[in-house]
Structure 1
Amino acid sequence: MLGSLVLRIEKVESELFEKELEYGKLAKEIEMLGKTVNEQKNENERLQKQIKSKSETNETKINELEQYNRRSNTKLEGIPDKENETIHETAEKVIQTLNKNIPDLNLTMNDIDITHRIGIFKKNNDRPIVLKMVSRMKRSYIMRHAKHLRKQSAPIYVQRPSN
């Protein structure tokens, strides 16, 4: 009986030793997984900072591009308005008015990218017009000769639109 008890104790000690080895392996594996998780967290934080930085840079570049595109714009005030005026009619009014009052301008529909009124139509209140030119050279010519438009009996004011 003592012999069987000793055998059983040796068997339990053997099993305990195997469990301790298994426990040691699992502890090492958990430690390695913990390090991997920490590395992944650090990488994630680094990438989030990088994304934020790129996003801010992109926003700045987009803003700069938008500002650059607006350099071809001109705001005109004082050209008569009518209800339900189409952009084509607005462009024709702009062309006629500018060609009539600015010497040697010779503005055509091909010189205009787009033109539109700002705001809601109100009787006896002419809405301003945003005029986007195809050529900034033509726009500069108009800006240089804007004084001719201001000197009329019904003055027309030309300015850079607010951004």
Structure 2
Amino acid sequence: MFDLFKSEPFGDPQLGQLLRSRGHWRGSISLGSDENVPLAISGTRSAPDAPALQAARELGARFAGWRPSIEQALLEHYGPYAESLARGELGEASPAFPKLVDAADVWGAVSLVSVSLAFLDGKVNTELAYTTLWDEEHTVGACFEDGEFVELCGSVVPV
């Protein structure tokens, strides 16, 4: 009986099969060296939002241009943790705590755990959620609006 209310899978030639679950169209995406990362796209019961779906298709091409903004924001997020550690406020550093010198170093200390796209108020909002070796309590989100970097959100829920 509940199959009556279930959405049919949505096939996309670039993103593959998307299944509707928990209010989003879900699949996976590969960006850079991160493969098969969970992907969530907003939409109706019948299909993903067209602008969000198109933005998801363009993510691979856009990601290279976004990397400098993401890495700089992640390095700025790292700074207070490294300073607190140097002052002895965090106790002893775990062996996993990174020593980052410049922005490009962040990629060895973070993992992309999910990507979500939503079409809200006429704009496509994209969030790339990362776990970091220096902040084990939070997942941070690199947030973009219509392809422009907005901010690094300090605590997001991966999709």
Question: What is the TM-score with the length of structure 2 in the denominator?
Answer: 0.27
Question: What is the TM-score with the length of structure 1 in the denominator?
Answer: 0.27
Bigger CA radius of gyration: 1
**Structure richer in helix, relative to its length:** 1
**Structure richer in strand, relative to its length:** 2
